[in-house]
Structure 1
C-alpha cells in the first residue's frame, strides 16, 4: 500500500544532514517545509516551501506559527549550527526547549530529533560514548584510516589549521601501519591522540547533544523519537539499506561488554541516514525511543560534496 504524502518540516534544511533528509523526502513525493534563517540556500522545488525563522532569537509563539499544519517535524538543528564554543551550550538547549514547546502548541503529529553519537551507551555499560576517552581515540583512528571520512571532514572544516591537522594525522597513522614510521610521525600521532583522549574542544558540542536527550526520555506529553547517527557518519554512496540498535552505539562484533572499541565503530552515509529518517517519518516504528543506525561503508570514495541541492531533483 502506497504511503500517503505528508507535510514535513525540517529544521536546518541546508546543512549536511538536513539537505539529504529534504532530498529523500521530496523523492518520496512528500511536501517539505524548510525552516532556518536562510532555508532557500538548498535550492527550489515545487514541493519545497522555505519559511525563514531565526530559531535562536524567535519567540516560542513565532516558532509555533512557523510549525503550523505539519504532520512531522524533523529537528536537524544542533550545536554545530552555533559552533563548539562552550558558551553555546546553554543557547542550544534553550533554543531546543523553545522548539519543543512550539511544536506541542502547533499540535505537530510527530517530532523526530537528530541527536549525536555521544549520547549512545557503550555495550554492557551505563557509560555514554562521550564519557569514554577510549571512544574518542577509536574514533580518530578509524577516521584517519578512511580516505572518504578524512575528505569529508576537510570539506566541512574548510581551509585552515584543522584541515592540515587532520591530513597530518592521517599521514602519521599510515606511516605506522605501513612500517615506515619516523620520530616525526610518532610525535604527530602522540600529540593528536593525547588531544583526542582529552577532547576538550568538541566536548561542549557533544555534551549539549547528550543533555538534549533529557527533554525526551520518559516524556509522554508528545510523540517523539530521538535518532543518533553512529560514530562513522559521513558522505558516501546511497545503498538504501540500514540496521538499527536501541540506546547502544553500533559496533562490529558482539555487543555484550565494553571490550575494546578499536576497529569496531560502525557508520552510515548521509544518504542512507536520510533513508532511515524518512522511513521513521512515514512508519513511526521507534516512537518514544532513542536509537541509532548503521549501513554499508565498504566504498571508501568520498562524495563530491557533503551538501546537496534539491534543485537537482526532478521537479514534479
Structure 2
C-alpha cells in the first residue's frame, strides 16, 4: 500500500495492541494510541502519538474519533484480569461504550474489533464457549507446549499462582494419560486436582473474558451503518513469537467454516500482519473471521 494511513488503536499497550502498533509503524502508517494511560512515545520509529481517554467517557471518546481524521480504528480493548468476578461486566460495559462512542461520532472509516476465540463455531453449529465443559475440556486437549507457554506467560505477568496452577494441571494430566512406573502412587492427588481444575475452569467468572468478547461480537452483528469487521484470535494465540508474515484467514459462520481457529494457533506478530492487511485492503467488511499461522518456532 503506497498511501500512509492514520489509524487509531484503542488499547495500544496490550499484547495484541502493541504488536498491531509495531506492524502499522513498520509499514509507514501514522498511529494514535488511545487508552486511559497510553504510551506517549514508542520504541519503534515512526509517527506515533498517545491520547489519554477513559472508555467510560463516551462523549470524550466520540469527540476524539470525530476530530482525529482517522482512516481506520482498531479496538484491542480488553478488561483487566485483576478481579475475575468483575471481568464480564467491565468487558461488556467497555465494548458497549466503544460502540456507542464510535456510532455517535462522525468517523465512518473502517473499524476492526479484536475479540476472543470463544465466539468461533464448530461444524455442528455450537460456539466454542458453549461447548460442554468449556473451558476445562479444551485446556485438557491443549498440547504440552501450549500449557508451557501459558504458564510462562502467567509468570511473566506476575500471576505466579495461576502459572503454578497451569503447571500442576499439566502434571496431573500427564499422570493420568501417560503413566510412568510410580504414577499410581500419586494418581489420587492427580485425579483430585483435575476435579478441582474442572470445577474452577467451568465457572462463569473464569470464562468472563471469553464471554464478554462473544457479547462484543453480538453487539456488532447486523450493524450496517459502520464498516466493521470482527477478529476472533485462534484458540492457541501466543505472544513473544516470531513475525513470519505467513497466515491464513478464515471467515466464520455457524457451519464451522473457521473451525481451524479452534484447532490451531498463531503468533501475535503474525496476527498483527493479518490485521494491518485488513486495514489496507478491506476484504472482510461485516465479517467475523479468524487467522492461523505457524507456531512452535520458539521455545514454546
Instruction: Decide: shared fold, TM above 0.5.
Output: yes
Matched residues in 1 for 2:273 and 2:209: separation? 25
Partner in structure 2 of residue 296 of structure 1: 294
Matched residues in 2 for 1:54 and 1:82: separation? 17
Number of residues paired by the alignment? 285
Matched residues in 1 for 2:243 and 2:83: separation? 29
Partner in structure 2 of residue 152 of structure 1: 153
C-alpha displacement at 1:95, in angstroms? Answer: 3.0
Question: Structure 2: where are the runs of 5+ without partners?
Answer: none
Any idea what SS the aligned residue of 1:94 has?
helix
| 1:24-80 alpha-carbon deviations (Å, 9 max, x no partner) | 111111100000111117735441111111112x1x22102222211100000123x
Relative to 1, partners in 2 of residues 1:89 and 1:176: Cα closer, same or farther, differing over 3 Å? closer
C-alpha displacement at 1:231, in angstroms? Answer: 0.7
Any idea what SS the aligned residue of 2:263 has?
coil
Match 1:193 to one of 198, 210, 213: 198
User: What aligned pairs does 1:98-113 form with structure 2 within 5 A after superposition?
Assistant: 98-104=97-103, 105-113=105-113
Match 2:222 to one of 198, 218, 221: 218
Partner in structure 1 of residue 173 of structure 2: 173
Considering Cα pairs closer than 8 Å and 6+ residues apart, tell me whether 1 or 2 has the greater RCO.
1
Matched residues in 2 for 1:274 and 1:49: separation? 19
C-alpha displacement at 1:218, in angstroms? Answer: 1.1
Partner in structure 2 of residue 54 of structure 1: 54
Partner in structure 2 of residue 19 of structure 1: 18
Matched residues in 2 for 1:202 and 1:42: separation? 34
Mapped contact 1:113–1:226 kept (Cα < 8 A): yes
Any idea what SS the aligned residue of 2:74 has?
strand
| TM-score calculated relative to the size of structure 2 | 0.85
Matched residues in 2 for 1:153 and 1:251: separation? 27
Match 1:228 to one of 203, 227, 232: 232
Mapped contact 2:278–2:284 kept (Cα < 8 A): yes
C-alpha displacement at 1:277, in angstroms? Answer: 0.7
| TM-score calculated relative to the size of structure 1 | 0.81
Q: CA RMSD in A?
A: 2.4
Relative to 1, partners in 2 of residues 1:76 and 1:293: Cα closer, same or farther, differing over 3 Å? same
Any idea what SS the aligned residue of 1:32 has?
strand
Mapped contact 2:237–2:267 kept (Cα < 8 A): yes
Partner in structure 1 of residue 281 of structure 2: 283
Matched residues in 2 for 1:194 and 1:145: separation? 21
Matched residues in 2 for 1:142 and 1:287: separation? 33
Mapped contact 1:10–1:35 kept (Cα < 8 A): yes
C-alpha displacement at 1:212, in angstroms? Answer: 1.4
C-alpha displacement at 1:16, in angstroms? Answer: 0.8
